[in-house]
Every structure is written in structure tokens, then in C-alpha cells.
């Protein structure tokens, strides 16, 4: 589906599934995802060492292993390059404005990680601060990674990111955005617990409108303590206010 939807081209992207506490099933390197057969998949251990399979595992397996280590609730990961969302990543813009209620319910906010060379510790270092609090991350000048309790749910999060990016792009073309207000966000935090598929263990943050900066990079995190006061009681323990600015 990734290839059919145009989320990857050629040999781009990679997927994985946590089989158990010790084994990860992953896609191999240098293969078009539309041509993959079950026999092409690789099983590695939690250190990335191949346990079975005739092909080499993806060079970005380190990113997958980091996510599994930091998020015990995650059992499926999808990394792809959906064009619109990747365009935002290449422009240095996070998708962190609360423009669509369904996205707030499903993902909260989609931050932007600083650039790191694929397949190196630079990439995992840039992602590490964000993984515990988010279920989908834009990677500067690279693509998107999404993860969830199943591979299917991870893929649906990837679709949501790309769909939201297309909507956000339209608002930029129109020259106007109308983010949801603080009271509306608080109501959505309560409402999201009633929706299936919105039960992540991560405290998915919400972006708060009012800051004029267009740069959504995670390195800019002022006002986190002040913003967190927007939520109180049980809702606050479940959802933190975004530090993205």
C-alpha cells in the first residue's frame, strides 16, 4: 500500500513488527516494497543482529530498535516519504497547529526532528527526545516515521500525517489558518479517550496557537511549563501540552 499510495518510490522506506521481546521482523535493504515477498523479510534481535532471512536488513534498523526500546507499547513501525508531509519536513516546518479535530484526536501534534544522516547515530539521536511523547515524527529533509500497537495502525497514522499535511498546505496556499482554541482542545482531549484507535500510552501533546513562529523544530521549546497549565486533573496526566514552537 505504501508504494500504491505514492508514499515511497524505488527502494525507499522500511517497516518492522515486534514479534516478541527479543525478535523484530523487518524489511530488507535495497528492495522495492511493492515487490516484496514473505521470503525477503528478515528477523533480527534487539541489537540488530540477523537471526534469519537471506537478505540484509534495512540500514535504518537502528531507528526501529530505538523506538521499540523507548516505547514498549509499540509493535509496528512504518517509515516512508509521503510527498506532502516530506515537503513540510524539507521546508523545516512541523505539523503542530491544531487545524483538524480528527488529527488532534488521533495524533495530537506532529513534531519535526532535526536532520540526521540516515543509517547513522545522528538520526537516532535526533529522534530520541521525541519518541516517548509522539506517535508520528517528521524527519528534516528525510521523511516520516509512524508507530503504533500494530503495523496496520502505524500505517493508518502515516496516512493521517500525509492527509493532514495536504490540508495544512491548502491553508498556506489560502494564506490563512484558523487553529482550534484552547477550550476546544481541552474538550478534544476528553473526547479522544472515547475513540477506538486513540489509546496510545504516549502523552501525545497538543500544539497551542498564538506563537507566530513558523519554525516547528523541536529544538525550540520555551514556555513548556506555562502551556502545561492549560490542562489539569486526569486530562493533564494523559496529555501534555506541546513544547513545539
In a domain, 47, yes or no: no
21 found inside a domain = no
Question: Is 93 within the bounds of a domain?
Answer: yes
Q: Give the span between the Cα atoms of 208 and 198, in whole angstroms.
A: 20
Q: What is the pLDDT of residue 1?
A: 81
Q: Which of 114, 118, 117, 162 is nearest to 136 (CA)?
A: 162
Backbone angles phi, psi at 80, to 5 degrees: -150, 180
**d(C-alpha 239, C-alpha 184), whole Å:** 14
Residue 170: CB partners within 8 Å, gap ≥ 6?
A: none
Residue 96, C-beta contacts closer than 8 angstroms, at least 6 positions apart? 109, 110, 111, 112, 207, 216, 242, 244
Identify whether 52 is part of a domain: no
Separation of alpha carbons 147 and 11, rounded Å: 20
Query: What pLDDT is stored for residue 89 in this prediction?
Result: 98
- How many domains does the chain contain in total? 1
Residue 244 is predicted with a pLDDT of 37
Does 170 map to a domain? Answer: yes
pLDDT of residue 243: 36
Q: Residue 207's pLDDT is what?
A: 45
What's the pTM?
0.80
We report the CATH number of the domain holding residue 225 as 3.40.225.10
What is the pLDDT, as a whole number, of residue 124?
A: 96
**pLDDT tens-digit profile, the chain (245 residues):** 887 888 988 989 999 999 999 999 999 999 998 889 999 999 999 999 999 999 999 999 999 999 999 999 999 999 999 999 999 999 999 999 999 998 988 888 899 999 999 989 999 999 999 999 999 999 999 999 999 999 999 999 999 999 999 999 999 999 999 998 888 888 888 887 777 555 554 444 454 444 333 344 443 333 333 233 333 333 333 333 333 33
In a domain, 96, yes or no: yes
State residue 142's pLDDT score: 97
C-alpha cell, 101: 479535530
46 part of a folded domain? no
Please indicate, yes or no, if residue 188 is contained in any of the structural domains. yes
Q: Which domain holds residue 198?
A: 75-238
Instruction: Return the pLDDT at 201.
Output: 44
Q: Are strands 143-148 and 23-26 parallel, antiparallel or unpaired?
A: unpaired
pLDDT at 188: 85
Amino acid at each position: 500500500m505504501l508504494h500504491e499510495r505514492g508514499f515511497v518510490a524505488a527502494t525507499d522506506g522500511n517497516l518492522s513488527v515486534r514479534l516478541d521481546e527479543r525478535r523484530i521482523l523487518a524489511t530488507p535493504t535495497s528492495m522495492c516494497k511493492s515487490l516484496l515477498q514473505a521470503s525477503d523479510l528478515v528477523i533480527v534481535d534487539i541489537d540488530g543482529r540477523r537471526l534469519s532471512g537471506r537478505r540484509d536488513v534495512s540500514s535504518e534498523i537502528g531507528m526501529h530498535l530505538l523506538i521499540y526500546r523507548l516505547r514498549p507499547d509499540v509493535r509496528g513501525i512504518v517509515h516512508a516519504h509521503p510527498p506532502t508531509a516530506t515537503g513540510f519536513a524539507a521546508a523545516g516546518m512541523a505539523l503542530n497547529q491544531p487545524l483538524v479535530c480528527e488529527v488532534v484526536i488521533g495524533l495530537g501534534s506532529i513534531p519535526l526532528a532535526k536532520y540526521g544522516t540516515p543509517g547513522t547515530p545522528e538520526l537516532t539521536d535526533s529522534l530520541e527526545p521525541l519518541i516517548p511523547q509522539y506517535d508520528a515524527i517528521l524527519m528534516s529533509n528525510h521523511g516520516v516515521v509512524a508507530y503504533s500497537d500494530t503495523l496496520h495502525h502505524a500505517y493508518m497514522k502515516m496516512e493521517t500525517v500525509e492527509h493532514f499535511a495536504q490540508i495544512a498546505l491548502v491553508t498556506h496556499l489560502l494564506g490563512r489558518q484558523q487553529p482550534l482554541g484552547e477550550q476546544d482542545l481541552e474538550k478534544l482531549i476528553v473526547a479522544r479517550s472515547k475513540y477506538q484507535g486513540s489509546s496510545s500510552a504516549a502523552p501525545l501533546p497538543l500544539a497551542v496557537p498564538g506563537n507566530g513562529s513558523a519554525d516547528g523544530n523541536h529544538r525550540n521549546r520555551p514556555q513548556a511549563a506555562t502551556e502545561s497549565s492549560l490542562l489539569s486533573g486526569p486530562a493533564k496526566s494523559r496529555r501534555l501540552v506541546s513544547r513545539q514552537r
